[in-house]
Amino acid sequence: MSYLNTAEVASAVAKLSTAYPALCELVTLPETSIEGTTCHALRIGTAPTGTRDCAVLIGGVHAREWGSCEILVHLAADLLEAYHVGTGLRYGAASFSSAQVRAVVEGMDLVLFPLVNPDGRHYSQTVDPMWRKNRNPAHSGGRAACVGVDINRNYDFLFDFATAFAPASGVQVSADPCDYQVFHGPGAFSEPETRNVRALLDSYPRTRWFVDVHSYSEDMLYVWGDDDDQSTDETMTFLNPAFDGRRGIAHDAYGEFIAKDDFDTSTLLAQQFCQGLQSVRGTAYTPKAGYDLYPTSGTSDDYAFSRHLADPAKGKIFGYTVEWGTEFQPPWAEMARIIKDVDAGLVQFCLAALK
């Protein structure tokens, strides 16, 4: 086997929906990609849509991180086959009983969107392996190197980083279209790819957990990504302009507020993911706040959690980012092992979330 191309990812998702029609359905995202690709997610669950709490898992956001799509495709296939046959799951030394498989498939809506950025993946696999962004040419000025927006800086969370962050913060985002890494685009949700993710969250209002699968650094990141977490001063929040220009400096007076119960839940589920992953072959991932990797704005996990704070009518979603492996495109033999690692972690995460 080897990495899937964009057509193969799409085909795999569609085939699963037809192979297990009683257990899953194909979800067509509302917008095509910049280059016109129709995107699909897969909802797994035995109960009618909207009658169970939901976990949304996305991958394939950064084009060069090829294995993220395979992680989610394999997870879907494994859960569906195990449930259909009535068996458990085994990933290396990790095992999950048939009762645990039933608990996941019957206890939640599990929505998997394996390929958020099909144009970028195609370009990475055919032209430039290290391509990261989407393929939006609108802000490039005709320069090939300046095409694209970093989808994972395009969400509506402290998007105006120049105002929100301290000048010395080193926040990993840019307003320069020719920054091939982290150009955030002209405005929050300017890109159809990010709007598709938002649409999934809106379409499943009982979403309680969100995981964005990336590489690399062998971490499981929880919120927040803009500054240190703190649970004592509720006024220190992304919603409070009084703290503009002060965010992003470690261990100073400002820290991003998260309620103690939410912090405890966030860290517990991250730890459970890491424990499940480590049980496969002993690989140790680190559960930590996104900020402890580096300061960011406009990311998917922070946006997912921030929604209920910005709009109390929305449900609370615990947001996470997996950073798998130690390189973007490991040899397939190692990637196959990483898939088992991460899928075991995700199954353990879902089981812990349901408790």
pLDDT score at 93:
98
Cα 223 to chain centroid, rounded? 12
Domains and CATH numbers, the chain: 6-354 (3.40.630.10)
pLDDT value at 1 more than 80: no
pLDDT tens profile 290-303: 999 999 999 999 99
The tokens of 190 are what?
């300017």
Q: Would you list the DSSP string of 94-128?
A: EEE-HHHHHHHHHHSEEEEE--S-HHHHHHHHHT-
Single pTM value for the model: 0.98
**153/119 Cα distance (integer angstroms):** 17
Give the list of residues 6+ apart from residue 311 with CB closer than 8 angstroms, or none.
none
H-helix segments, the chain: 6-19, 67-85, 98-107, 118-126, 161-164, 192-203, 260-281, 300-310, 332-354
Contacts 24+ apart (CB under 8 A), 306-315: 306/157, 306/223, 306/238, 307/201, 309/237, 309/238, 309/239, 310/156, 310/239, 314/205, 315/205, 315/206, 315/207, 315/208
pLDDT score at 259:
98
Instruction: State the DSSP H helix or E strand holding residue 320, giving kind and residue range, or none if neither.
Output: strand 318-324
Q: What is the mean pLDDT of residues 137-160?
A: 97
pLDDT tens profile 175-232: 999 998 999 999 999 999 999 999 999 999 999 999 999 999 999 999 999 999 999 9
Give the list of residues 6+ apart from residue 23 with CB closer than 8 angstroms, or none.
44, 45, 46, 80, 83, 84, 105
pLDDT tens profile 59-103: 999 999 999 999 999 999 999 999 999 999 999 999 999 999 999
Q: What is the mean pLDDT of residues 13-27?
A: 98
pLDDT score at 180:
84
pLDDT tens profile 315-337: 999 999 999 999 999 999 999 99
